[in-house]
Amino acid sequence: MSIFVDEHTMVIVQGLTGGQGRFHGLRNRAYGTKVVGGVRAGKGGQDVEGIPVFDTVADARAATGANASFVSVPPASAPDAVLEAAQAGIAFIVCITEGIPAQDEARMFNILRREHSGTRLLGPNCPGIISPGKTNIGITAGEIALPGGPVGIVSRSGTLTYQALHELKQKGIGVTTCVGIGGDPVPGTTFIDCLAAFEADPETSVVMLIGEIGGSEEEEAADFIAREMATPVVAYIAGVTAPPGRKMGHAGAIVSGTSGTAQAKMEALADAGVKVGLNPTEAGELAAELVAALPH
């Protein structure tokens, strides 16, 4: 199985008529994703290579039955785009937009939680989600992912998401679903959300978690793993050499004192029984070892 999305998911692209939305929306469709429409105010009635464009998400959903949205719009308008999708009843929203101010993210997240509890947001500032061989929503290159499982991946880092998929493919290991949750301070979907979904998925037998410095998400994930998970987990934490007090790449990747350091996260995960790799390749090797040990 896959988590959150599958081959039946029907996707609209908010921003399909823009450069990035068009490029990635068409790539998603070429992969096999059911991209059924696009949204851009003032351009309703047009199409992008056969994909109809609508003025509003509500119009697009009414006409297509879409249940997911891929938000590819600039930072200033991304929160409103996400909320428009939620208000229209879209159940799953992927927002790849980077650079949304943290205050705007927090406001958007709180409105979603308060008024649209049935909607799941992935991102912002994330590569999206891919269930190899079924659907791909976002900017992940589908050719680096091998279908079939038994590994599920959840990652804060976009680039390391791609490396994890490629490392496993090189070893002939498939992936049930790979979820890039993004590295911003206020993620719509957390490690724990994904870990719980993987634990409930009968086809995911090993989970790979990729974290990075900043915040306490990985420590919270370690506590959840220790209490709730029977599925074995491997992990890699980026940022071992990052200096304290300096933001590294993502808005959420900042270390304050001893809080949020790579070492503290690695220790918390190891204490929870997680096999922690010292680099992405080693994490892939550890995952391969766990896969090889699974009963056949």
> Where in the chain are the domains?
10-122, 141-292
pLDDT in tens, 150-177: 999 999 988 999 999 999 999 999 999 9
pTM for the full predicted model: 0.94
Assess whether pLDDT exceeds 60 at residue 276.
Answer: yes
Assess whether pLDDT exceeds 70 at residue 247.
Answer: no
CATH code for 10-122?
A: 3.40.50.720
296 is annotated as an active-site residue:
no
Please report, as a single letter, which amino acid is at residue 212: E
Could you give the CA distance from residue 33 to residue 6 in angstroms, rounded to a whole number? 9
pLDDT in tens, 201-232: 999 999 999 999 888 999 999 999 999 999 99
Which of the residues 8, 24, 166, 250 is marked catalytic?
250
β-partners of residue 151 are 175, 206
Question: Band of the pLDDT at 241, cuts 50, 70, 90?
Answer: low
* Higher pLDDT among residues 114 and 296, named by residue: 114
pLDDT in tens, 57-75: 999 999 999 999 999 999 9
Q: What is the pLDDT of residue 245?
A: 57
Q: What is the pLDDT of residue 242?
A: 63
Of the candidate ranges 62-71, 101-110, 192-201, 240-249, the one whose mean pLDDT is the lowest:
240-249
Q: In the structure encoding, which two tokens stand for residue 87, read together?
A: 């208000």
Sequence-distant (6+) residues with CB within 8 A of 134 are 2, 5, 6, 7, 32, 147
Q: What is the pLDDT of residue 296?
A: 75
Q: Which fold has domain 141-292?
A: Rossmann fold (3.40.50)
Could you give the CA distance from residue 187 to residue 10 in angstroms, rounded to a whole number? 23
Tell me, yes or no, if the two domains 10-122 and 141-292 fold the same way. yes
Assess whether pLDDT exceeds 70 at residue 243.
Answer: no
CB 210 within 8 A of CB 283: yes
Please report, as a single letter, which amino acid is at residue 117: S
Sequence-distant (6+) residues with CB within 8 A of 211 are 155, 156, 191, 217, 218, 221, 235, 236, 237, 238, 265
